[in-house]
Every structure is written in C-alpha cells, then in structure tokens.
Structure 1
Amino acid sequence: MFDRVGLAGMGDEALVSALTAATQDEAKVAARRLALIGEVIARQCDGEDDDHAHQVINGWAWAQAAVAAACNLNPYAASKQMRIAQALRDRLPRTAALLASGAVSATVVDAITWRTHLVEDPDALGLIDTAIAAEAAQYGAHSEKQLIGAVDLWVEKFDPDAVVRSRRAAKDLYVEFGDKDDPNGVASFWGRLRVTDTKVLQQRLDALADTVCPNDPRRRGELRAAALAALGVVGPALERLTCACGDPGCEGSGKDPRAGAVTIYVLADQVPAAGQQAPQQTVPGTTGTPESQPTKPETTSESESGGDSEPQTPAAESDPAAPAACHPSPAVMLDGAIIPAHLLAELAAGGAKVQPLTEIAALPTERQYRPSAALTAFVRMRAMTCSFPGCSRAAHRCDLDHLIPWPAGATHPANLAPLCRLHHLLKTFSGWQPTAKPDGSMHWHAPTGNTYTKAPGVALLFPHWNIHTPVPRRRAIRLLDDTDRDTRMPVRTRTRAQDRAQRIKAERVHNATARALEHTHSDSDPPPF
C-alpha cells in the first residue's frame, strides 16, 4: 500500500494534485457510507409502530447492531454515525450535497451536524443549512475552534436557544472519568458538585490525610487521591489511611485496602528464544513451557468492588534468563487500560489476591446452569470484551451467556461468552445467531444474511495462552416452547425518540435561561468608564 512504486516518478505538482483528489474521493466515499447508514435506519425506524418503539430492542437498536457489526464500531460510535447520517438525510441536505461532492470532509460534517442538533424549527434549520453550505467549503482550512464559531454564528442568528453550550457549562452537576491523553496506570476525572458537597468531601479527605504519620512521603494532593480511592473500596467505615512511611512499627502501617480489592490471576508466559519468531504454544493442559524456552509468570488480575468486578490481564516480572530486550510486562485491564509493571508489583505487595488462572484442560463440562468461579474467570479473560462484533464493553460488565440455551447447551467454555445486556437481548430476540469456534472466536450470523467474526481479545495480547476449546455437541434435550418470546421483551417507559426530544428540550430551556441571565447582568452592569 505504501510502497513507492508509481509514486517516486511523479512530479511535485502531480503528487500534490493527486493528494487533493484523494482527499476529495475520501469525502465522497464517506458520503456514500453515511447514505448507506441512513438507509439502514430508514428501513428499521421509519413507520415504526408505538409498541415496537417502546421495546428495548426496537428499530434503532436493530439498526445500531447492523451498523456496528458492518463498520466494526462499538454501540456508542455506531449511534454517533447514525445521528450524523440522519442529520444529513433529513435535516441538512445542502451540507450532505457538499460532502458528496468532496468539497468538505467528514470531520467538518461531524462538527456541523453536532452544532446544529438542537435546532427544531424547520424554517430556521433551512436558513442555517443554506448559510453554512454557502461557506462550508472553507471550513476545513480553519481550526476546530474557528469552525465551531462559524457554525454557531448562523445558529445564533436564526435560533439562539439552539447554540450548543460547552458540555461543562450545560451540566450543573456531573462527574466524568478518563481522558484519551491519560498516561498508563492513571486516569483523570473531573466534575462539578454542589458547593456544600464539595466542602464535605474536602473535609473528609483532609481528615483521612491527617491520619498518616509525619514521615509519610506523599504530598497533600497524593494523600487526598489515596483517601478518595480508599473510600471507594471501604466506604464510610474507613477511619484512617494506610501510612506509606515504611516503618513497620507505625500505627498506620498495614495492608492498603485498595490493593485488597484486586485479584491477580496467574498464567504461564513464554519469552521467545534468540532467533525464534513467535512463542511456542503450550500443550493443552500444561502450565509450563518447553525447557529450552525461558519463561516468566504472567497474570490476569481482576479488580472487585462490591458485586462488580473489573478483570485485568497483566504480566509480572521478567525471567533473568530472558533476552535483554524483554522487560516486565504491564497489566492489561479488560477495558484496554494499561497498568505498568511497577504498579502491579505494588498491588501484589500491598495485599492483592493472587491465584492461578485455570487451564482449559482443567475445565470440564459443569452440570449446573451457573458456571463456577474458575470457568467464569476463564471465559471472561479469554474474551476480554463483549463477544459481539465491534463492541468493546469490558467482559466483567457483561452477562455470561449460554450460546446454546441451557440445558441443551452445556455449561462449558465453548458454550459461554460474555455479552453486554444490549447484545444479549439482541441475540435472544432479534435473530442474531452466534457460533463458537475452537480458537475462541465467535462467528455471528445476522438476520440479513451477513456474517461477522469477533476474535477473543486475549488472542492478540497473549497469543501463547492455550485457549483451544473443542466445541461440545448440542445435547439431545428438548427446549421449552418459545412462541411467546416477544411478550417477554423488556420495554422502555419512553421511546428513544421521546428521550431524545426531552433531552433537546431540556438543553434548549437551559440555554434560554442562561441567555436571559446574561442579558439581565449586562443591563445592570455600569458602563466601563
């Protein structure tokens, strides 16, 4: 793809001209893709009756699953693409025409559709679409801030209450977690609380920070962070913070409750010998590796908080006999977060539970419906995420589903898979049929006739781990008649369209109130002289 055959001989002008044409072609392909997504939505949602619209797996959910699988997107990303496609098809036809001609990029269109999503009046929307289309071809050359300002200018002119305020300003109270720029091993969070709640929380954290001895090396901010995390594990019963002074005689020394909430599952790892391209597969049922291969332990850790657990898949210290290029492997949580090796070591030293991860040969068919703890851990660690194509929800936040319903389908590693609640319902009620393969991958057959494959997450990160699982035969047990299955579909109190309309209405009211307050303050302020 990126070899220089056919490119090296091009002149500079021809090369840049080809780049310009390719950029326009990319926009045209994006327009075609969004048009296809819009048609999928139209076939499932247009003319949907009220009863079906109130079901959890309604037309939108069905279309979302089809788009997510076809485009390899998680449900949130698929919904975003669907909203853009809907806006271009039903709300902004002139902007859609610009994208189809290659005059603007998909990134520009993404910003335009979002900054106009609160506009409800059709006449105002038509004027805004016309104004934006007249100048949108120039937007791509501007920064994101300039682009947003250019779009907001027309929204402000024709529908001031529809100007999208910043997310932080639009929410009175909120807490957000995680940022794409967070370094490995830590996660940022931010938010806004009531001033009284803030004072109470600050006093509680400071009080816990004051319980450590004067020799604790941590700064005030670090102590507050440790106190907040400990409160999340222990709860309001926490009376003092574990001191980090290192003195065993210190009254505050002991195990850190944060580490005690983590379970580290251990499995065998292999380090390639010199000249070897890939680690050799272990023999099914063995926990070791060939004697000629240096080894190092590898772990899968699972964080448990109350009834909800968050599994992780890390590797521990390296073997001294390993090649010099090999370093202690980091932890990999099931949601993809990286835990550096030094933090993993701190957790183990601080009291984290450590136990081996059961090998596949030691996991026979179980007689009961609910899988054992060992089988549950294996299935979740193997998949790492929901087993539906494109879905990235961590396996510990998913249901553990019998692919072939029990008792016809056994409680066996090859008949169990984590499915988030949305895709569990989709499989149960909407005709999506999964088929497990011995390598841990999942083949999905869609009602449309399309097929998709989802590989187990561990196959990429830990290819040496033996997860080969022969698929057992379906047992000759007749299942109960499921002719009334649709009557058991969970329903919503409001349709998705009603929910969206309510959110838009609430944000417009918030914007109108904010504008009225700004106007009142500006009238009461004295002139600046």
Structure 2
Amino acid sequence: MFDRFATAFDASGTVGEWARVEAAATARRLAAMVVLLDRAYAADGSADREQWYLDNWGAVAAEIGAEQNITQGAASHQLLIATALRDRLPEVAALFADGLVSYRVVSAITARTALVRDRDAQRAVDRAFAEVLTDWAPMSEDKLNNAIDAIVAEHDPHGVYRTKLTAKGRNIQFDYDGSGMATMFGTLLATHGKALEKRLNVLAHTVCPGDPRTVEQRRADAVHSITHALDYLPCLCGSDDCPGPKTPPTGNAVVYVVVNEDTLDDTSDAAAAQDAALDGDPERLFDKPLSEITTWDELGGNTGADGSDDSHADAEGELADAAPDDESPIAEPDANHVAADDTCGSGGPAAHANHESPATRPGAIIGGPFLPGALARRFALTAKVRKVCHPGDAPPEPRYTPSRRLAEFVRCRDLTCRFPGCSQPATEADIDHTIAWPIGPTCASNLKCLCRRHHLLKTFWGGPNGWGDRQLPDGTIIWTSPHGRTYVTEPGSKLLFPSLYTPTAPVTVTAEQAERARAQHNPGLLMPRRQRTRAQDRAQRVTADRRLNEAEAQAGAPGY
C-alpha cells in the first residue's frame, strides 16, 4: 500500500522531518484563510454585511469549507485558530510556520487563551509559550491543557479556561457508527441523571414476560417512549393475548428513511435470519463481525446495475403523520403506492420483482447513517411507507413551488444539502431552483436541496462575481466559487439508491437565459440580519466567562 507513495515523492526523510513539513504546511494553509478574510473585510460594503445572518466570516468559512470538502462549522473553527495566531499569538505562529510545533498543540493554545483580552497580557502569554514550546515533551491532552493553563494563570488568572468548575459543559451528543445504531453520551446534572435512570427502569418493566428483548435492550428502547411522553414501552411478544401495552407511540418527531423496496420484503430466508438475529447478537446481521466489514457488498450494498424502484419510509420515531399542505416534503399514502412489479407514476422507471439476494440491502436515514435491512424492516412495521416516483421525462411543473411528489423525490435523491462539504439533512433544507424562477423551470433537473445557510450564500453572495452553480440531469451540481475554483457534488443517493440517480428530463433554458437569471439572482430580497455582529457576540461571551472566573476567585474556588 505504501509503496506507491514512495514513487510519488521523495519519502527518504524521517517521520519527524515529515511531521515538521506537515506542521509548516498547515500553518501556511491557515495563513491563506486569513488572507481570504482580510479581502472580504476590505471589499466595498463589508461593514454593512457584518450584521447579515450570513456575514463576511460566514461567507469566507463557506469558501474554505468547499475548498477542503469539510463542513462550514469545521472551516469556521480553523478560521478562529488562524485569526488567533495572527492577532494574539504571532510568536507561536512563527514557530508553527517553521514546523516546530504541531497543529494539535496550536489548536489547544488558541482555544485556552481565548479569554485573555488585555493586550499586554496577550503579548506576555505569547512570549512565554514561544520560550517553552520547543522544549515540551509529548503530553496527553489533560497534561497539555494543564500546562497551557499554568502559563495563562501566571499572566492573567481570570483568563484561564475553567469550564470544568461549572455546569456549563453539560451536553448530550449522538454518534452514528454505521451499524444502524446510535450511541448517546453526555453529561447531566446528577439529579437529572438519576431521574432518567429510574424512569428507564420503570418503562422497561411495563412489557409482558414474553417480550424477546433483554432488560438492557428494553431500557434503550424506552428512550423512544420518553420522547413521545408515553408511560409504557410497547410490547414485542407478538401474542394476541398479551396483557402488556402494544400500541406504538405517535407524536410530532419525524424521522425520514429511504429504503429500496425489496429491502422491506420479509418473506425471504435471508430476511428471516436477519430478523431473528436483531434481538440477539447485532453482529449476526452480517456474515462477519462489524469490525471486519470493509466493503459495501459486505453491508448488503450491492444494489446492482438495474436500479430497482425505491421506497421512502418516514416515522415519528417509528410512526409519522404527513403534513396536510401540498408543499410538504412528505405525502400521504395514495393510489400511486403500487406493487413491486408495477410502474411508478408517469415516466418513472419500472420496479423489479422482489428476489432474495437484495433482501439485505440497507436503507438510509436522511441526513444520517444507513440502516441494515433487518433494522429497516423493523422500522417500517409501524411507519407510513410511500413510493418515491422517479419523474423520468415528465415536463416541468407550471409553478414556483414543487409538488409534494417532486419535492419528495428531490429530497430522497439528494439526502443532504448539496453545497460542498455540507451534511445538513435534506429534510431540513430548502429546495432551490438552480436557474432562478421564472426563467428556470420547476423540474428535478433544476431543483436541489440547500440548507438555509448555503441557500442564503447562493442568493446574496452569488451573481456574476460570486458563487455560481450548474446542474446536470442526474442531479450532479458543479459549483464555481468567487475566486473561480470549481467543486462537484453528486446526489447522496448515488451509492445506495442508484435508480434515484437516473437522469431526469434536461432543462431547456439557453445559456443566455441562464446568465440573465444569474445576473438577476436577488430581485428585491433582504438578507436576515443579526441584532449584534459576530465580533460583538464573541466579546460578550468572553466578558461573561471572565466574570464567572472573577466570581469564583472571590468565593475562594479551588485553583485561586
């Protein structure tokens, strides 16, 4: 594997030498970000744009994210580090540029010195770090943070980063590992944690003795009951005489899942084996341990070249009610919910007969991970399932707002926001006309999902000298940045649901019409505005944190 790298460049240096090259290159990458930011601030009208919802900083972060194919949040974090090195820590920045300090250490220093606001204290802290950094031995994260805090405390005791002394750090986070499961972890107030523990135990024991799940599994499933304000856990024993509650929960929280239609076929032997394993060892869902799975075929992702029809299941946890208005991204089940061997809608590709081999094909939560076939079938038991119809060569719709059917197809085809590096779910995004209406038609080849932030970016930072986009009939988007760089994004359905990636009727707008629409990209619209600029918000947070430190010092808190 590594032999091909040796042929691409001279790899004769040591690991340490290349680490210094990497650090120096990273320093230059961050410096280039600051250049982009300075250009934005120097542009005409930049002062007024500081109170835009998508301000100068946000626009620059979007361009940095597109260039590196990372989220705008990650790009904004890098830009914070870059500006901190330039404005507060120039001597540390010089060591970084020489490759003498790693990005990990620099990132920790910039974060844990953010509360130092006095200019003399900033210079003293910067000088102190420059004197000791090259002599520091490798440290764990905790030791590194303690060493940084010690230097800050010496020059500005109220500027030490002290979140561990307060409840500010409490949080709940979710991690999706790709197995169809989610890991929830976080920090609560002790009293809230104990109450939650007791509530889960109570709900786990509301089922009958025939429920196939373990106590631990029932405790995990009880979280779903809590989200719907239920005082019971639905029983899964399957018995008609079950004395326990079996009514599935309903509510307002909607989870959208896209699956291949044949995945929902539970009549095959493969499906039966997977379903039997679902309440036992999760790794029995596959032919080998999850840690050893390396290809999509092993996950059941061999969708084949024929591209069968796709189904769209949405659930409130596991059950959803469709929105009543025609502009809703989700439609009520209707007469077009056809059997597997029928044709879906006008001009749509024919679905193919169910067969056993693709029964394990996974589905995908829109904006989230994929779901193994067994989990998708379990999910669909109490979900509203509807056919997603490919528009084929259908003509454009004669209005600005796409129909429910068309909007649903676009969201399932895209799965996420289509801006480079953005992973915002399509269900939380706007549907944007690539070529602005009314010049651009309302059809699948001219519609895509953009989160509100990137929709505003295209609308207010677009035009002849800003961001531009071009859409191909298969949904591929070609973006052009204000500096002429191009980025290509493909629909999220390409891998798991290839039938949704099939080209639709092309847009018949001429190049001249498209250019005229781009020149008139923002007719009479107003950017939402902030009450305070981003810089004012940051200054307020710093002031609030320093005030907490001062209060703890006066109260004689540990560390003072």
In the superposition, the TM-score normalised over structure 1's length comes to: 0.79
1:228: which partner in 2?
Answer: 223
2:146: which partner in 1?
Answer: 149
Deviation at 1:430, TM superposition (A): 1.0
2:188: which partner in 1?
Answer: 192
1:416: which partner in 2?
Answer: 447
Q: 2: distance between equivalents of 1:420 and 1:72?
A: 16
Deviation at 1:137, TM superposition (A): 2.5
2:460 maps to 1:429: yes
Instruction: Say if 2:65 and 2:72, in contact at 8 Å, map to a contact too.
Output: yes
The amino acid across from 1:489 in the alignment is: M
2:16: which partner in 1?
Answer: 20
2:531 maps to 1:493: yes
1:388: which partner in 2?
Answer: 419
Question: What do the CA deviations read for 1:176-204 (whole angstroms, capped 9, x no partner)?
Answer: 22137696412314242584x66776676
1:330: which partner in 2?
Answer: 362
Q: Which among 452, 455, 468 is matched to residue 503 of structure 2?
A: 468
Distance 1:23 1:405, change over 3 A: same
1:455: which partner in 2?
Answer: 490
1:511: which partner in 2?
Answer: 549
Distance 1:5 1:340, change over 3 A: closer
Deviation at 1:64, TM superposition (A): 1.2
2:105: which partner in 1?
Answer: 108
Instruction: Say if 1:263 and 1:354, in contact at 8 Å, map to a contact too.
Output: no
Q: Which among 430, 443, 446 is matched to residue 478 of structure 2?
A: 443
Question: What do the CA deviations read for 1:373-411 (whole angstroms, capped 9, x no partner)?
Answer: 221222112212111111111111111112222222221
Q: 2: distance between equivalents of 1:419 and 1:342?
A: 31
Query: How many pairs were matched up?
Result: 486
2:344: which partner in 1?
Answer: none
- Map 1:286-297 → 2, pairs under 5 A: 288=308
Partner of 2:175, secondary structure, is coil
Partner of 2:60, secondary structure, is helix
**Identity percentage over the alignment?**
36
2:69 maps to 1:34: no
Q: Which among 72, 95, 99 is matched to residue 75 of structure 1?
A: 72
Q: 1: distance between equivalents of 2:75 and 2:255?
A: 33
Instruction: Say if 1:216 and 1:244, in contact at 8 Å, map to a contact too.
Output: yes
Partner of 1:188, secondary structure, is strand
In the superposition, the TM-score normalised over structure 2's length comes to: 0.75
The amino acid across from 1:444 in the alignment is: W
Question: What do the CA deviations read for 1:15-43 (whole angstroms, capped 9, x no partner)?
Answer: 5x433222211111111111100111112
Question: What do the CA deviations read for 1:96-139 (whole angstroms, capped 9, x no partner)?
Answer: 11111111122221122112122111111211111112222344
Between stretches 253-262 and 157-166, larger displacement belongs to 253-262
Partner of 1:386, secondary structure, is coil
Distance 1:123 1:211, change over 3 A: same
Distance 1:183 1:133, change over 3 A: farther
Unpaired runs of at least 5, structure 2: 264-295, 332-352
Partner of 2:431, secondary structure, is strand
Unpaired runs of at least 5, structure 1: 289-296, 312-317, 524-529
Distance 1:95 1:446, change over 3 A: same
Q: 2: distance between equivalents of 1:244 and 1:224?
A: 14
- Map 1:74-473 → 2, pairs under 5 A: 74-139=71-136, 141-166=138-163, 170-172=166-168, 174-179=170-175, 184-193=180-189, 195=191, 208-209=203-204, 211-216=206-211, 218=213, 222-232=217-227, 234=228, 236=229, 238-257=230-249, 265-267=258-260, 281-282=305-306, 288=308, 299-304=311-316, 322=357, 328-349=360-381, 351-361=382-392, 363-431=394-462, 432-463=467-498, 465-473=500-508
Instruction: Say if 1:435 and 1:442, in contact at 8 Å, map to a contact too.
Output: yes
Question: What do the CA deviations read for 1:242-299 (whole angstroms, capped 9, x no partner)?
Answer: 12333221243435227995565554689x99xxxx97644xxxx65xxxxxxxx865
Partner of 1:77, secondary structure, is helix
Q: 1: distance between equivalents of 2:491 and 2:220?
A: 35
Question: What do the CA deviations read for 1:126-169 (whole angstroms, capped 9, x no partner)?
Answer: 11111112222344722222222221110121122222234x65
Instruction: Say if 2:225 and 2:231, in contact at 8 Å, map to a contact too.
Output: no
Partner of 1:88, secondary structure, is helix
